Structure 1
């Protein structure tokens, strides 16, 4: 009775009350409700978990012992069968889907019988990530005893010890082993001024990574505005103060940084900037330049890949000629302009059809190889003048009907600021 707060036996049936609905995703509370529909004469919570005289640790195990939960063999078989066609990453996605659906009765049993398949490529991924071909399962077992945050710190420290390579452009970062864009690595702001710093809080995981880092290599450095180097300098000075207060007074917080690149190549792009603005944005204009030690590469590694002495000689002569132009070792007028004498072996002379000869030189036997895969992958014709481009395109189209031309032009709709951050 409601007023006396007592149970009144039902006239029909054996139930004395109604259990509140519990959703299946409620964990142990759901399994407790499930047991209460079958266990009789229970006086406390431990009695509910007794099945055939044995007290189970959890309500879920008791439900499984009674037979209230379905067998997980079908899920185990699904993962095993998928292993023949799916990758390790796809298997883990399947397992994650089963977890989100909350349809497995005993997760530990499914995991114990399939974990080797689910983690089959983990060792390979860690070997590639840490650049440690000899890495074994013993090394990987270390992660099992760490918290997620400790794993992040350990991975960052491992990466730092092996050294990290940054690059100013996306293409350069792809060509470097373990390379990353400098903007993402150091959290450099896009809108920058003389007082900007990188978005790396003191004590963060990225800050701990930089503290452990022994060497930073920044490729294509001449392309970047010097304000970004100065922002990194201020950030590293602040971060490295935790190691020693003297680091706050040293360039880049006393870190060793290698800035690679060639000043003969493109300089920083300054939107609507004058010549003075561009020069002011260069690295050698920065106050950090006085702390730099200039080291020049003296050995052409490309020459070592050619066994023929004639090939080595030709490449060296061409390289010296290019460097001669880049260094400005020629007679120039007051505007910095001069005449460049092109080597005779680089010219097409005394031919009736110079464009045909040019195409034949870049794409040998192009008529016979036009349908072959990759026949045009190893060569390109670059034209600095629009009229020349049109002539070459029309000529190639006349030789190869149905072909298409891909333009690589400096007249790009991309704004200079976007080019700099690309």
Structure 2
């Protein structure tokens, strides 16, 4: 039968050619031929049905065994291989954290067996400490040492998922019930009162008058103990983080509890003890669709005890939060504290800048964004506004161009820059350096990257920002190719959550889905590449938005070093974890490392981060409120900002209603 699709073949009537030899039909996952189909999709150029079962020179007896060897199927044995691999290369502390992450995110079926097989590598440092303490190198592993390691793992599981080891099919360590219940409390009371007092004594005198007024107002509310609701309005460079850090230190110096949360992972890493609001308050993932939501915090839990005793909650970068999040927190605190007062009588300080981006609502309109904004919540009428206006970054630089730059930034954020008849604004000539091509922009931000990439401080202080994920992905792959070394590919295992839908959504279709907030199916990496974490694995160390640099690429685990925040310089292990998207009609699961490359990142993902050098790829203009302001305000002077935009023209979306008091 002649082809009906493709391009015509010369001199052959009704004959068409294409690059497809045939079609692979979908099969039911219960059918044994599924494994052959997976191999045909993923193996390049097999010579025979026998040859297709050969992996790295080893012949496998069945198609399923070959699929397992290629990592095309989920199997509990992958956790065995991962822990064995980690034991050869990493420390016991790293392996315990890795095991805790696997328990809390992957729920392995044989968790107790995994522990029994690898408990020595997870207890090695404890054995070493005992030998040094007793001056006896002949001491061997004991049940007490294993129990100590299990307690450390359980503490991590409670921090990550608020669940003890017994919830993961493991034997509970020997510890008191009160010790288990007090994990959250111990975390918030771990700060040295002496160190906190020293921070306060050293830095409070450095405040300007504006900062001191706000500091005193909030501390007065803390002392009164009657609660309160404040919004701390502070553009970039005015010292917001400085003031917040001192307020936290003052409360902690008196052994009080002060919670620091942020709407973005990057912002959370800048605060001592900071975590994302979603991880601390256990907010529902689909909060935008749930106007009556409450936080997933049980009234008798250790987190509830912390909230009862908490003197202050500071929520940074609050402008990114959906109003339903604030309302859910209000309901939860009222319930936990048995109080009808606003937020149950807890003092809440929101901080941020409404010139920045508003909550991200998929496929939203202007009205949807405004309706989701905190200012649209009925709670907002109770807020007391505090404001910083003096740009301390400008004063410290003592650079006239930085002062002009600061004023130009505010004009962009306030929507005061003139818009032409096409809806574009022209960036001032003294505001930034205009790049004439993508290659030029890359060279300006990452000069000599093939040699400089080993300098992690250099790498941490720069990035290219773009409005859309597709532009970010293209930039990342292009810059990574400039690094020396071999490219390592990690392919995800994608499966539908409902087996009955497997015939409708074949594996290669799921593989083709590249969704925001999820790792790609084919993750290509090099040692030395910066990456960004896409999930909260161990807050505050490992938050959604934490930037890291790859140290080692192993088959089943990746070792990376934290680039930013309080924990920069620490090496951690990242496993594959299952990720289920919440905003697509197809319910499917992707088992992949929860990371993406981070030479470039989206503007929204960069919010809260300060850089020394920043590039903007604005060939695709900004499309939502505050994006241009956020992108440009990552740096403090015009010589640090490089923009790729034809003739310096771009869009500046500002919703004036979001800026009104």
Q: TM-score, normalised by structure 1?
A: 0.52
Rate the CA distance shift 1:267–1:149 in 2: closer, same or farther, 3 A.
same
Give the Cα separation in 2 of the matches to 1:111 and 1:392. 46
Correspondence for 1:240 among 311, 326, 337: 337
Give the Cα separation in 2 of the matches to 1:385 and 1:145. 51
1:362 to partner: Cα distance: 3.6
1:262 to partner: Cα distance: 2.0
Given the alignment of the two structures, is residue 210 of structure 1 paired with residue 210 of structure 2, yes or no?
A: no
Given the alignment of the two structures, is residue 280 of structure 1 paired with residue 371 of structure 2, yes or no?
A: yes
Q: What residue in structure 1 maps to residue 291 of structure 2?
A: 194
Correspondence for 2:393 among 296, 302, 316: 302
Q: What residue in structure 2 maps to residue 324 of structure 1?
A: 411
Q: What residue in structure 2 maps to residue 340 of structure 1?
A: 426
RMSD of aligned alpha carbons: 5.4
The question of whether the paired residues in 2 share the 8 Å contact of 1:303 and 1:315 is answered with: yes
SS at match of 2:361: coil
Deviation string 1:219-270 (CA, Å, 9 cap, x unpaired) is: 22111210111011011112222xxxxx31x211121111122222221122
Give the Cα separation in 2 of the matches to 1:197 and 1:397. 43
Higher helix share: 1
1:182 to partner: Cα distance: 1.1
Given the alignment of the two structures, is residue 164 of structure 1 paired with residue 266 of structure 2, yes or no?
A: no
Give the Cα separation in 2 of the matches to 1:111 and 1:389. 46
Matches within 5 A, 1:126-137: none
SS at match of 1:343: coil
Deviation string 1:165-203 (CA, Å, 9 cap, x unpaired) is: 111222222232211121121121223422221122223
Give the Cα separation in 1 of the matches to 2:439 and 2:128. 66
1:290 to partner: Cα distance: 0.6
Q: What residue in structure 1 maps to residue 186 of structure 2?
A: 155
Deviation string 1:276-320 (CA, Å, 9 cap, x unpaired) is: 1221111001001111122222233434654xx33xx22222121
Give the Cα separation in 2 of the matches to 1:394 and 1:180. 30
Given the alignment of the two structures, is residue 371 of structure 1 paired with residue 451 of structure 2, yes or no?
A: yes
Q: What residue in structure 1 maps to residue 360 of structure 2?
A: 269
The question of whether the paired residues in 2 share the 8 Å contact of 1:188 and 1:199 is answered with: yes
Work out the number of aligned pairs and report it: 284
1:322 to partner: Cα distance: 1.2
Give the Cα separation in 1 of the matches to 2:404 and 2:189. 43
SS at match of 1:171: helix
Rate the CA distance shift 1:303–1:404 in 2: closer, same or farther, 3 A.
farther
Correspondence for 1:255 among 346, 357, 372: 346
Q: What residue in structure 1 maps to residue 573 of structure 2?
A: none
Give the Cα separation in 1 of the matches to 2:293 and 2:345. 20
SS at match of 1:371: helix
Q: TM-score, normalised by structure 2?
A: 0.35
Matches within 5 A, 1:72-87: none
1:358 to partner: Cα distance: 5.3
Deviation string 1:73-92 (CA, Å, 9 cap, x unpaired) is: xxxxxxxxxxxx9767889x
1:412 to partner: Cα distance: 6.2
Give the Cα separation in 2 of the matches to 1:168 and 1:174. 11
1:330 to partner: Cα distance: 3.6
The question of whether the paired residues in 2 share the 8 Å contact of 1:166 and 1:173 is answered with: yes
Give the Cα separation in 2 of the matches to 1:228 and 1:391. 34
Matches within 5 A, 1:407-418: 413-414=515-516
The question of whether the paired residues in 1 share the 8 Å contact of 2:185 and 2:305 is answered with: no
Deviation string 1:119-144 (CA, Å, 9 cap, x unpaired) is: 9xx9xxx9xxxxxxxxxxxxxxxxx9
Give the Cα separation in 1 of the matches to 2:271 and 2:424. 36
Rate the CA distance shift 1:343–1:211 in 2: closer, same or farther, 3 A.
same
Task: Name stretches of at least 5 consecutive residues in structure 1 with no aligned partner.
Answer: 1-84, 102-109, 127-143, 242-246, 406-410
1:402 to partner: Cα distance: 7.5
Q: What residue in structure 2 maps to residue 179 of structure 1?
A: 274
- Which structure's relative contact order is higher, taking Cα pairs within 8 Å and 6+ residues apart? 2
Rate the CA distance shift 1:88–1:395 in 2: closer, same or farther, 3 A.
closer
1:152 to partner: Cα distance: 3.3
The question of whether the paired residues in 1 share the 8 Å contact of 2:277 and 2:315 is answered with: yes
The question of whether the paired residues in 2 share the 8 Å contact of 1:397 and 1:403 is answered with: no
The question of whether the paired residues in 2 share the 8 Å contact of 1:269 and 1:417 is answered with: no
Rate the CA distance shift 1:295–1:202 in 2: closer, same or farther, 3 A.
same
SS at match of 1:155: helix
The question of whether the paired residues in 2 share the 8 Å contact of 1:169 and 1:220 is answered with: yes
Rate the CA distance shift 1:373–1:150 in 2: closer, same or farther, 3 A.
closer
